[in-house]
Structure 1
């Protein structure tokens, strides 16, 4: 059985910080949230392991502040799995690495067929981890012992996994690729808030009419506000399908809304006044939303390119298989070599004149890393040039 210490107060934090300071090498860090149960993405458990120190399970709601832990381990290399998922929750606690190693991202760059934590541990160390509690409600208190043991195992082997992947990266000549990817994850700025987030409502495509969309917007906002207030995942209050069912039913009174059988969820009736107020606000709205969301800077889907921009379509049809073939040769998933979105954008709006250097500059502006540009820019430029040449009609033979 894994040995671990649960930290729930200032005295325990001080003891853990002292032991972690005396440890050696990288620090393995993991986070457990309550996604699907709570509205927030806050951390409800932070697991930390360091050789010579042991495993510590910190209870953030009980501990409160982590400045001393950050001071003790902040300058060390942190080892995380799928770091982009955990970093926002850690940053909320004032915990942030200066450098890190992402075992999930490294496994992707190495071409591992499976990149989940359990699979990577098994593939590198031959140890099988049970994933029984990955989707549990980690805001539960007290946490069951079996959950704590599972959480401890998530970090106990992570530094050993890191060492195995470091050797594998060196063997495949991908050490710098990984370093650039890790830096990009750490330096990535949060995405701006989505415009019209209510349009994410699952099943909204079945709702017709701008008036009905105005009601959908108000219903989504009312549920979001109540979910935030209660710190409960919105779908646990009233599922998306229930909101859409109510919209399609188009009730004329609050009583009719209550009689919509598909309008389900634990808050569907207890908060009936709230939902009916949203119906009334939406129907009274004068700023009716468009049937389709504004396109902004997005480019059309590739299937529309032959009609909308045949030159771009020709560029993409030559560049995409070339990039895919290179990805296979390098044993890297195509989306990690170069995301399809970046390739589409540079194909839609190529630099002039086309060259490896100009394509590389365009890719850099779009956020591609230096190693990705070094591998793909020439390939893409060649494909773009070839697309133009293929459009030039061959000279007629002399009669």
Structure 2
């Protein structure tokens, strides 16, 4: 069940080993829910997935700590739905590190906080150079927190005790870290900024399904024929379906490079595919019939894909000087103006304003490009009120001042 543990040490002293029980029954889960409801103060929350090992992004361990209750480690698959725990903690502030990485898998099991404190985001707003949990904990609390199991396969059962100790420490320190950060945010007059950022993190919608996700194949740009692309598409779709069925990361079954090699060569027979040296992986030979069927579908497809993907993504700024020189000048001038504010506020540029927002208003500025119209454009894109207050006038002024420069492109590049 729960543990009121503090098995970490200051400086470089070793972590004390102690047994951690993983809750994997509804009875134990409901008892833990009652204990957490009776605790006090904010709730430290973390989730461990098996990214790179499994197809799904589900949580394979959920860790929760609350003062007066202790630490609880939950095994989500056998427990199923966590709605009772969500209701019990509805009024509490949930403390997470890099909340945007965990919210989706928490919501998948019914855990959906109403209020959060994101210690990773707070670290950015406070100007802390390195924002990993271990680094921030050491800097602000003086405690060394080892992170050796962060990339482990958390779908492993049973979970090793050393992994459980690591997982427990992640949440046991979060309330103390949150308290220290609250004081620092007050001292730096950034409490309102942090509140807006936390609310935006909670409100952010999941990304829409990508069009032609098969184009994510690493190296897809090296295929120049529509037929080759059709075969690559069918191989990717076949691998994705198989990976979902067996819950294994697609790249662990057959690497991207193997799919591309087959799409590039277009083997004429099943044996030719089997003889392809580059076609390797856990399932390349055992599932040969599957891959050959995909190749045949691609070889006979009539709905050939376009050579280039349809996308509203802007070109990278390094290409703007040739493709849209006026936008390049606007972008460079506005970025330079914002950089002065980042130094003053000690907030990284990417947190002062989402880089894509700056690129989009620079590429297609509103008319007229004044403070109000730039602010409105940023708001439509998703900028927070504090970001608009700080950046809109600077961006508008930078756009207006550009024509006064005799040779702006040369001046900005010099």
Length-normalised TM-score, structure 2: 0.92
| Pair 1:342-2:367 in alignment | no
Shift of 1:300: 3.2
Q: Identify the residue that residue 29 of structure 2 maps to in structure 1.
A: 13
CA contact (8 A) 2:20 2:161 kept: no
| Pair 1:87-2:64 in alignment | no
Q: Identify the residue that residue 272 of structure 1 maps to in structure 2.
A: 288
29-38 or 11-20, larger mean C-alpha shift:
11-20
From 75, 81, 88, the counterpart of 2:91: 75
Shift of 1:299: 2.9
CA contact (8 A) 1:5 1:55 kept: no
Q: Identify the residue that residue 322 of structure 1 maps to in structure 2.
A: 337
Q: Identify the residue that residue 165 of structure 1 maps to in structure 2.
A: 181
| Pair 1:53-2:69 in alignment | yes
Distance 1:94 1:55 in 2: 20
CA contact (8 A) 1:224 1:234 kept: yes
Render the CA deviation track for 1:77-134: whole Å, top value 9, x for unaligned: 0000000010000000000100000000110111111111111111111111111211
| Partner SS, residue 121 of structure 1 | helix
Q: Identify the residue that residue 387 of structure 1 maps to in structure 2.
A: 402
Shift of 1:6: 2.4
| Partner SS, residue 25 of structure 1 | strand
Shift of 1:326: 1.5
From 234, 239, 242, the counterpart of 1:226: 242
From 306, 317, 320, the counterpart of 1:302: 317
| Partner SS, residue 325 of structure 1 | helix
Q: Identify the residue that residue 333 of structure 1 maps to in structure 2.
A: 348
Distance 2:259 2:178 in 1: 45
Distance 1:5 1:141 in 2: 13
Which ranges in structure 2 are unaligned for 5 or more consecutive residues? 1-15, 409-414
Distance 2:207 2:120 in 1: 21
215-224 or 127-136, larger mean C-alpha shift:
127-136
1:353-372 maps to which residues of 2 (within 5 A)?
353-372=368-387
From 102, 107, 110, the counterpart of 2:123: 107
Q: Identify the residue that residue 147 of structure 2 maps to in structure 1.
A: 131
Q: Identify the residue that residue 66 of structure 1 maps to in structure 2.
A: 82
Distance 2:200 2:127 in 1: 19
Distance 2:102 2:205 in 1: 14
Q: Identify the residue that residue 285 of structure 1 maps to in structure 2.
A: 301
70-79 or 301-310, larger mean C-alpha shift:
301-310
Distance 2:191 2:346 in 1: 14
Distance 1:392 1:135 in 2: 50
1:131-210 maps to which residues of 2 (within 5 A)?
131-210=147-226
- How many residue pairs get aligned? The number is 392
Which ranges in structure 1 are unaligned for 5 or more consecutive residues? 394-399
CA contact (8 A) 1:3 1:55 kept: no
Length-normalised TM-score, structure 1: 0.95
CA contact (8 A) 2:71 2:172 kept: yes
Distance 2:151 2:179 in 1: 28
Shift of 1:247: 2.1
